[in-house]
Structure 1
Amino acid sequence: MSAPLSSRLLRWFDRHGRKDLPWQQALDDGRRDAYRVWLSEVMLQQTQVATVIGYFQRFIDALPTLRDLAAADEDTVLALWSGLGYYRRARFLHRTAQICVEQHGGELPRDFDALRALPGIGRSTAGAILAQAHGLRFAILDGNVKRVLTRHHGIHGHPGESAVEKQLWLHAETHTPTSRVADYTQAIMDLGATLCMRARPRCEDCPLAGDCTAYRNDLTALLPNRKPGKSIPSRTTLMLILRDAHGRVLLERRGPQGVWSGLWSLPEAANPDIAWRTAQQHAQIDDAQMLTPFTHVFSHYRLNIEPLLFDRATAHRGIADNPQLRWCSSAELAALGLPAPVRTLLQTIV
């Protein structure tokens, strides 16, 4: 094809691209808000646009500016993030906002190296902020872009491998135009999300099909190569739901290490005997009811959860003196950062 890849993508974007996403809202000077771009980029990591929109709007309604995010307490930030998973990203957002207030005048810096130095901002996220908010020529390489470029150039090997990723970055930088950079970055992401999908790509509608190596050689089902598989281990835990006569539930803040670190969750136990002893340490109890078990899948293991309900528990006095424990009403639960499976579980009984 004689026309550059970027020109074909931009023509396609003008007709079919997504231009009404909430983070594309322009400021008075016509630019996009760097804070919104940044927030959307972090939320969109491993999460689809359709899922993110609701979370994004709720987050922006509560914390409309970077300074608002910096001033918020961690529980508020985690509660707004609850359901998106990967809570470390929310903590990085919070800390980065605080650093920007302390060191960058309450704004995300416009310098690439300064952005990369902030917690949770990698090469692609920094490029997206500068390209979409400021129109600067920086490449991006998220999951959708990797898939488009891998197929177009016929690159074999898993995109997460360093040698493959290096090739992809070279192509990403080569194809990024000098003008309409914000539209181009959105266009190539949109192409990957709406046409060049992992399964059943719509190659007949793609503006790049004419010189796409994967399409020409019938490799779209093979590329990108999948990551070599390995078995995912499982573990089982009992989650203790202590509910008092007022309908309040006992929560415990998790430690700084491990999964769901720092979030409010339910006390856990490895077996029924430990579960009873743990429950008795926190409250006076009479009986327990085993609720329906379920499984929550993380990226690296499966967690089999067996909920154990201790109804009409009477709190011991010492609970009030322990900052890592608290009795919460259903209204208070909504304002806390809870792991998604814990929130879903409590919504079925509270």
Structure 2
Amino acid sequence: MPDNVPRAIAAPLLKWYDAHARDLPWRARPGANAPDPYRVWLSEVMLQQTQVASVIPYFEKFTARWPSFEALAAAEDAELMAAWAGLGYYARARNLLACAREVAARARIPETEAELLGLPGIGGYTAAAIAAIAFGQRAVVVDANVERVVTRLFAVTEPLPGVRPRIRSLTDSITPDARAGDFAQAMMDLGSGICTPRAPRCLACPLHGQCDGFATGAPETFPVKAAKLPKPQRYGTMFWIERDHRVLLVRRPAKGLLGGMRALPTGPWGDLPPGLAGAPFAADWRLLDAQVRHGFTHFNLDVALAAATIAAHTDAPEGEWWPVADVEAAGLPTVFAKAVRVFGRMHA
């Protein structure tokens, strides 16, 4: 079916959503009054590049501890970063705090996409999602689930990512004026539970009769994706410095990867294994017969592990001396938490 032929998508989809909507802690029930904008905003930031199942426990912990923009705005930076540890993409946490402080200073969160785009950490998708879900405004909301549903509905054969402007236009063509927030969440739920990447459950889909992808007999071939380039490989070393049953943790620079987070001291991360180059000071370092592997968005990292035990009077870099027995409570980013677990096994 050509793009310019109108399709009655919203009515059957919303009817399906009214019966099958996921019960999520940041949602209002279908057709109900708009949910708390704070909860919508927080969930949308957390859901950027993170799965729903991973977000739920963090969301519940955050809202119990910081139930409003004002409460979150008053949080200490280090406190917030520690609570975020494990969710990844740590620039989101820094922007989260900056945004909460700006909204608290204004005494309200903006309701329009254009105004929302002016807040820290809010891009086009997040602005549209908040405007539609929290404030009932008509907005075109396209996440990965919506992208998949739309490419199948219209059998879009051009590959991602270049075809995204067309996908947005197609989504715009089927987005209703009324219940835009419910429609956006219905599209997300359809993609999550029915129109899945592999083995979509087409006969359970309320839209399969209007779906060009279903008509091809191979809906799982959409969306078409350009071939991925291999990620670059980098190498580094992490240093476990122990004295009096405490381990040294440092703060990473505020800007850059894992900015502002507690971490073990590290050497440079580069194209070749650095060994003990970049050690924080001279010591009787032992390179362990173990390493940590971790995938970041744009590169893979292999990390060697070095350890030293020093006397109480030895000069060491500034940082926090954290009890070894409690170091897993320090709120370390995942790559450092992996290293801590390896060091823990070596101590056991």
* Structure 1 position 22, deviation (Å): 0.6
Letter in 2 for 1:225: V
Letter in 2 for 1:144: N
- Report how many aligned residue pairs link the two structures: 333
Instruction: Tell me the SS of whatever aligns to 1:42.
Output: helix
Aligned mates of 1:203, 1:330 — CA distance in 2: 52
Equivalence for 2:280: 278
Equivalence for 2:97: 94
Equivalence for 1:203: 202
* Structure 1 position 328, deviation (Å): 1.5
Equivalence for 1:22: 25
Equivalence for 2:259: 261
Letter in 2 for 1:272: G
Equivalence for 1:290: 288
* Structure 1 position 341, deviation (Å): 1.9
* Structure 1 position 255, deviation (Å): 2.2
**How much is the aligned-residue C-alpha RMSD, in angstroms?**
2.5
Q: 1:41 aligns with which of 15, 27, 44?
A: 44
Letter in 2 for 1:149: V
Q: Is the 2:202–2:208 contact (alpha carbons within 8 Å) kept by the matching residues of 1? A: yes
* Structure 1 position 337, deviation (Å): 4.6
Letter in 2 for 1:201: P
Higher helix share: 1
Equivalence for 1:130: 131
* Structure 1 position 234, deviation (Å): 0.9
Structure 1 vs Structure 2: percent identity of aligned residues?
36
* Structure 1 position 291, deviation (Å): 4.8
Equivalence for 1:218: 217
Aligned mates of 1:78, 1:293 — CA distance in 2: 25
Determine if the alignment matches structure 1 residue 240 to structure 2 residue 239: yes
Q: 1:314 aligns with which of 311, 314, 317?
A: 311
In the alignment, structure 2 segments of 5+ residues that lack a partner are 268-272
Aligned mates of 1:135, 1:229 — CA distance in 2: 37
Bigger mean CA offset, 75-84 vs 340-349: 340-349
Q: Is the 1:203–1:209 contact (alpha carbons within 8 Å) kept by the matching residues of 2? A: yes
Aligned mates of 1:43, 1:160 — CA distance in 2: 23
Equivalence for 2:270: none
Instruction: Tell me the SS of whatever aligns to 1:293.
Output: strand
Instruction: Tell me the SS of whatever aligns to 1:308.
Output: strand
In the alignment, structure 1 segments of 5+ residues that lack a partner are none
Aligned mates of 1:78, 1:273 — CA distance in 2: 29
Q: Is the 1:13–1:187 contact (alpha carbons within 8 Å) kept by the matching residues of 2? A: yes
Instruction: Tell me the SS of whatever aligns to 1:314.
Output: coil
Q: Decide whether aligned partners of structure 1 residues 48 and 272 sit closer, same or farther in structure 2, where only a CA change above 3 A counts.
A: closer
Q: Is the 2:250–2:264 contact (alpha carbons within 8 Å) kept by the matching residues of 1? A: yes
Equivalence for 1:82: 85
Instruction: Tell me the SS of whatever aligns to 2:183.
Output: helix
Aligned mates of 1:334, 1:80 — CA distance in 2: 13
Q: Decide whether aligned partners of structure 1 residues 130 and 317 sit closer, same or farther in structure 2, where only a CA change above 3 A counts.
A: same
Determine if the alignment matches structure 1 residue 9 to structure 2 residue 6: no
Aligned mates of 2:51, 2:223 — CA distance in 1: 18
Instruction: Tell me the SS of whatever aligns to 2:64.
Output: helix
Q: Following superposition, which runs of at least 4 residues in structure 1 exceed 6 angstroms of deviation?
A: none
TM-score w.r.t. length of structure 1: 0.87
Q: Decide whether aligned partners of structure 1 residues 193 and 253 sit closer, same or farther in structure 2, where only a CA change above 3 A counts.
A: same
Aligned mates of 2:9, 2:179 — CA distance in 1: 13
TM-score w.r.t. length of structure 2: 0.87
Q: Decide whether aligned partners of structure 1 residues 241 and 326 sit closer, same or farther in structure 2, where only a CA change above 3 A counts.
A: same
Letter in 2 for 1:10: L
Instruction: Tell me the SS of whatever aligns to 1:110.
Output: coil
* Structure 1 position 301, deviation (Å): 1.0
* Structure 1 position 290, deviation (Å): 0.5
* Structure 1 position 192, deviation (Å): 0.7
Aligned mates of 2:76, 2:326 — CA distance in 1: 15
Determine if the alignment matches structure 1 residue 59 to structure 2 residue 62: yes
Letter in 2 for 1:61: A
* Structure 1 position 217, deviation (Å): 1.0
Q: Over residues 237-275 of structure 1, what are the superposed CA-to-partner deviations in whole Å (9 max), with x where a residue is unaligned?
A: 1111112222x2111222244421222211123533436
Q: Is the 1:79–1:334 contact (alpha carbons within 8 Å) kept by the matching residues of 2? A: no
Instruction: Tell me the SS of whatever aligns to 2:44.
Output: helix
Q: Is the 1:75–1:336 contact (alpha carbons within 8 Å) kept by the matching residues of 2? A: no
Q: Decide whether aligned partners of structure 1 residues 218 and 313 sit closer, same or farther in structure 2, where only a CA change above 3 A counts.
A: farther
Determine if the alignment matches structure 1 residue 329 to structure 2 residue 323: yes
Aligned mates of 2:226, 2:95 — CA distance in 1: 27
Q: Over residues 175-233 of structure 1, what are the superposed CA-to-partner deviations in whole Å (9 max), with x where a residue is unaligned?
A: 22222223222111000111111122111211111121111113423211113321212
Aligned mates of 2:109, 2:303 — CA distance in 1: 41
Aligned mates of 2:254, 2:171 — CA distance in 1: 37
Aligned mates of 2:33, 2:220 — CA distance in 1: 41
Q: Decide whether aligned partners of structure 1 residues 43 and 331 sit closer, same or farther in structure 2, where only a CA change above 3 A counts.
A: farther
Instruction: Tell me the SS of whatever aligns to 1:22.
Output: coil
Instruction: Tell me the SS of whatever aligns to 1:148.
Output: helix
Q: Decide whether aligned partners of structure 1 residues 171 and 290 sit closer, same or farther in structure 2, where only a CA change above 3 A counts.
A: same
Q: Decide whether aligned partners of structure 1 residues 115 and 202 sit closer, same or farther in structure 2, where only a CA change above 3 A counts.
A: same
Letter in 1 for 2:170: H
